[in-house]
Amino acid sequence: MSVLKRSPIPKHHQLAEILRGLIRAGDLEPGDQVLTEEKLCLRYGVSRGTVRHALVTLTQEGLLSREPGRGTYIRSDRVRSPYFTLGSFVEDMQRQGLAPRRRVLKCRVIPAPLEVQKRLRLRLRTPVIHIERLRLANNRPVLYERRYLAKRLSRTCPQRS
């Protein structure tokens, strides 16, 4: 029998909220190891997929850190918004125990659109490099980027990866 409520709210969201509450209340403190996936499944009456989804959510929020082969721990530095900082995306993802990747969707030289021209203070129809890419964490999309770079600053588009 499930401890979680029958609700339109997905079980992984409910479980993540329960764990967030335990962290906020101090029942789980920085450095503490979270129960294993198996024990969380038994305690809350949910599947392993539900537990994993909740743990990934909390890891992405910066509340947990996952160490392969060791377990999942409450973060001591409690990074809150890793996707909206000026730090390195790769470093932020690695610090959270996630594997960062990027996927270049577009990379082409075009005349600067009017808004880009104004923002970069370029002359009319100055060539710019237009790049669109996805940033991934554990092969799941977490960020979509669109960039315009003055053509004179670069000779080629970034390598696809």
The CATH number covering residue 25 comes to 1.10.10.10
Q: Is residue 2 part of a domain?
A: no
CATH number of the domain where residue 127 is located = 3.40.1410.10
Q: Does the pLDDT at position 149 exceed 60?
A: yes
Q: Which residues pair with 143 in a beta bridge?
A: 135
* pLDDT for the residue numbered 33: 94
Q: Does residue 122 sit within a domain?
A: yes
pLDDT band of residue 161 (cuts 50, 70, 90) is very low
Two tokens at 135? 């940033």
Task: Quote the mean pLDDT of the chain.
Answer: 83
Please check whether residue 161 lies inside any domain of the structure: no
Beta-ladder partners of 64: 74
Residue 37, helix vs strand vs coil: helix
Domain boundary among 50, 77, 95: 95
Question: Do 18 and 76 belong to one domain?
Answer: yes
Spatial separation of the C-alpha atoms in residues 140 and 99, rounded to whole Å: 10
Query: 47, 53 in Cβ contact below 8 A?
Result: no
Using only C-alpha atoms, the chain has a radius of gyration, in whole angstroms, of 21
DSSP H/E element including 72: strand 71-74
* 61 and 122 inside one domain: no
Three-state secondary structure of 122-157:
CCCCCEEEEEEEEEEECCEEEEEEEEEEEHHHCCCC
pLDDT confidence of residue 37: 93
Q: Which domain holds residue 68?
A: 11-85+89-95
**Which is higher by pLDDT, 151 or 159?**
151
56, 71, 95: which is the final residue of a domain?
95
pLDDT of the residue at 68: 84
Q: How many domains in the chain?
A: 2
pLDDT of residue 134: 93
**Within-domain flag for 117:** yes
- Whether 61 maps to a domain, the answer reads yes
- pLDDT tens-digit series, residues 28-78: 888 999 999 999 999 999 999 999 999 999 998 889 998 888 899 998 765
Is residue 159 included in any domain, yes or no?
A: no
